[in-house]
Structure 1
Amino acid sequence: MNIAPNHTPDRATDTQPVILTGDRTTGPLHLGHYAGSLRNRVALQHSHRQYLLLADAQALTDNAADPEKVANNVLEVALDYLAVGIDPELTTIAVQSALPALAELTMLYLNHVTVSRLERNPTIKTEIQQRGFERDVPAGFLCYPVSQAADITAFRATLVPVGEDQAPMIEQTNEIVRRMNRLAGCDVLPEARALIPAVGRLPGIDGIGKMSKSAGNAIPLSASPDEIRDAVRRMYTDPDHLKVSDPGKVEGNVVFTYLDAFSDDQGTVSDLKARYRRGGLGDIQVKNHLEEILQTLIWPIRERRTRLAEDPGEVMRMLRDGTDKAREITQATLDEVRSALGLFRWT
């Protein structure tokens, strides 16, 4: 089975900027991932050297009690990547846990980061509160910004597509890079820049926080037509918009947020917003418009994913090839860092 899209795009070259990004393998991806990063990755793979990590090792930082779930979802996330248009001829897709250089770089960097600095990381602070860890936070979870820094630097990435809430991770990575470069006396590692999408975080269909698998407020990229319809019908709108004639609020209205994110006709969206604010436009009419857009968006992704899932062996072959390539790249970076720091080498 051919797992690349039906076109022959231009290949990236060694002179192009390097992108490193990825996803934790805790479940299939959803529309929040698509809006926040996946569609950008599809576009950027034509102009950048792009590496995608299936972050199974990082997924264990708060899923250690269910390693089978993490392992099983490596294939699920890979299927989502391919289904949305990630081309393995342009983008290297690798499994994080199969890259030993990442673990050694993480251990090296941990010696240069304090616990207090990790605890001050705004992203970590928020996620610890969300998970209710308090002082029982797993050490692996507290230290995962350092693991992320190892991922980014191992591929020598200079651009990292992240949501706005993840920007502190890039800041901490660059602190580590500057520390390593000072110790080495040369720029052995490049700094990275966060690429934050215009859409930002997509809210869940319930309007409570961001779209999340664990919160049960997500629309999977593999959603059936009935699942899409049901999700749109349940979307949070304006609770005070009780009658069609009532003026409604667009701000905080999940349906309009999704229209902003996914509609190709923003002129029509602007008209719908104006009519909704004036009164005279019902929620069901706006939801019908959104449903049509989402059905059109998800249908080809779902169909392609179904075809790919019929030959998991071919997908795993692609992952092995990508991981072998990534292993060479990351090991070369580790060797350079060890040499620059004057660390003992056995070979």
Structure 2
Amino acid sequence: MTAPRMLTGDRPTGRLHLGHYVGSIANRVRLHQRYDSFFIVADLHMLTTKNTREDIQQVADNAREMVTDVLAAGVDPARATFYLQSAIPEVGDLNTLLQNLVTVPRLERVPSLKDMARDSGKEEMPYGLLGYPVLQAADILCVKGQVVPVGKDNAAHVEVTREIARRFNGLYGTVFPVPELIQADTPSLVGTDGAAKMSKSRGNTILLSDDAAAVRRKVMGMYTDPNRVRADVPGTVEGNPVFAYHDVFNPDLAQVAELKERYRAGRVGDVEVKEKLADALNNFLDPIRERRARIEDDRGLVDQLIFEGTERTRREVRQTVSEVRRAMGLTSAYTRMRRRAERAGRALAANG
């Protein structure tokens, strides 16, 4: 029996961080053994906010780093198909065929698009960014994805995919499965600055590839309770990024509970709380670092995985686009014209 398909991935804008892990990668690691899993390196999506020549020149290196991070986090390369989005032009064909199945007002209601434009310094919404959810629908539907693990930001995007799939099937006959969303247990992770979610553009990240010293340095500089000027002043745990990280990454629940009790009572300093968090994070990241080192020692492995995965995916996408064109009736119009032209040509040749 063929396994159901999962589609997930990231834009190749650099190494992945703990926010990526809690938002999507943990789900991918847990789910990919159960599904025929496609991992997209979404460089066309990257162009919506990062499209200089320098940005594009970094795609190959960033793709390698990104795939290495995913493998180091625990994804089995034998159970995953990695592919480069821009190397499959048929995805663009499908995007064109789907874009008329959704309205501009519907896309304008996707909340994260304005945030993405603002975070990338765009004063106005680029056309490609407005159409981001349609291209994402093409990504999911081109491999007939049935499951999409998503973070909080992408849930609204995938809902657009579900609407497009239903609309297409209703108009032209069933071609696409309507994908199911699987949301992360921790929807988002606040950055080390405490001001916003963890984001590479804000520089408030802890990378999956950071060494132990870098993690400790970043943790010791984390935002805490701004009203707490001394260790003997009772502090606030709720909304405190240091404790938010403890809740996600520190498996010693008794230690976390004791630290919270002492913090609220003014009986522990920020330094001790942060030191214990740094220990917990480094214990969490150590196995990831070890797997990353082994992957990096196997030179050419990641490039081979991306190449072979892209070739496999392109074959799948070509088949899907062919089915879509047939369902819509686009192939029959040209076929009739071609046959009439061929008959006319034969008649002309016979009379000439």
Shift of 1:98: 1.5
Amino acid at match of 2:193: D
Match of 1:331 in 2: 318
Structure 1 residues 309-337: Cα deviation after superposition (integer angstroms, max 9, x where no partner): 24442221111111122112222221221
Q: Please show how residues 314-329 of structure 1 align to structure 2 within 5 Å.
A: 314-329=301-316
Amino acid at match of 1:288: E
SS at match of 1:77: helix
Structure 1 residues 118-151: Cα deviation after superposition (integer angstroms, max 9, x where no partner): 222212122223334233x222222111100001
TM-score by length of 2: 0.89
Shift of 1:307: 3.4
Match of 1:152 in 2: 140
Deviates more, 1:103-112 or 1:336-345: 336-345
**Structure 2 CA distance for aligned equivalents of residues 104 and 194 of structure 1:** 25
SS at match of 1:89: helix
State the identity as a percent.
Answer: 45
Match of 2:60 in 1: 71
1:90 is aligned, of 79, 95, 119, to 79
CA contact (8 A) 2:133 2:157 kept: yes
Shift of 1:51: 1.2
**Structure 2 CA distance for aligned equivalents of residues 153 and 267 of structure 1:** 45
SS at match of 1:134: coil
TM-score by length of 1: 0.90
1:112 is aligned, of 101, 109, 113, to 101
Deviates more, 1:196-205 or 1:137-146: 137-146
Match of 2:346 in 1: none
Structure showing greater Rg: 2
SS at match of 1:171: helix
Query: How well do the aligned residues superpose, as a CA RMSD in angstroms?
Result: 1.8
CA contact (8 A) 2:223 2:242 kept: yes
The alignment status of 1:170 with 2:158, answered yes or no, reads: yes
**Structure 1 CA distance for aligned equivalents of residues 164 and 227 of structure 2:** 49
2:34 is aligned, of 23, 43, 47, to 47
Shift of 1:42: 1.2
**Structure 2 CA distance for aligned equivalents of residues 111 and 295 of structure 1:** 48
Equivalenced residues, count: 332
Amino acid at match of 1:314: L
**Structure 1 CA distance for aligned equivalents of residues 260 and 5 of structure 2:** 39
SS at match of 1:34: helix
The alignment status of 1:29 with 2:16, answered yes or no, reads: yes
Match of 1:246 in 2: 233
Structure 1 residues 47-66: Cα deviation after superposition (integer angstroms, max 9, x where no partner): 22221101111111111112
**Structure 2 CA distance for aligned equivalents of residues 301 and 251 of structure 1:** 29
Shift of 1:82: 1.6
CA contact (8 A) 1:60 1:70 kept: no
Structure 1 residues 57-114: Cα deviation after superposition (integer angstroms, max 9, x where no partner): 1111111112112333111111111211211211111111122221111011112233
2:294 is aligned, of 307, 310, 314, to 307
CA contact (8 A) 1:157 1:192 kept: yes
Structure 1 residues 196-224: Cα deviation after superposition (integer angstroms, max 9, x where no partner): 11111111100011111111110111112
Amino acid at match of 2:180: R
Match of 2:282 in 1: 295
2:186 is aligned, of 184, 194, 199, to 199
SS at match of 1:237: coil
2:204 is aligned, of 195, 217, 231, to 217
Amino acid at match of 1:176: I
**Structure 1 CA distance for aligned equivalents of residues 56 and 201 of structure 2:** 16
Query: Structure 1: which 5+ runs fail to align?
Result: 1-12
CA contact (8 A) 1:59 1:70 kept: no
**Structure 1 CA distance for aligned equivalents of residues 266 and 185 of structure 2:** 29
**Structure 1 CA distance for aligned equivalents of residues 285 and 251 of structure 2:** 14
Deviates more, 1:75-84 or 1:115-124: 115-124
2:259 is aligned, of 262, 272, 279, to 272
Match of 2:128 in 1: 140
CA contact (8 A) 2:49 2:117 kept: no
**Structure 1 CA distance for aligned equivalents of residues 296 and 210 of structure 2:** 15
SS at match of 2:160: helix
**Structure 1 CA distance for aligned equivalents of residues 229 and 143 of structure 2:** 53
Query: Structure 2: which 5+ runs fail to align?
Result: 336-352
Match of 1:10 in 2: none
**Structure 1 CA distance for aligned equivalents of residues 264 and 6 of structure 2:** 41
Shift of 1:275: 2.1
SS at match of 2:190: coil
Shift of 1:271: 2.6
**Structure 1 CA distance for aligned equivalents of residues 32 and 162 of structure 2:** 24
Match of 1:124 in 2: 113
> Is the helix fraction higher in 1 or 2?
2
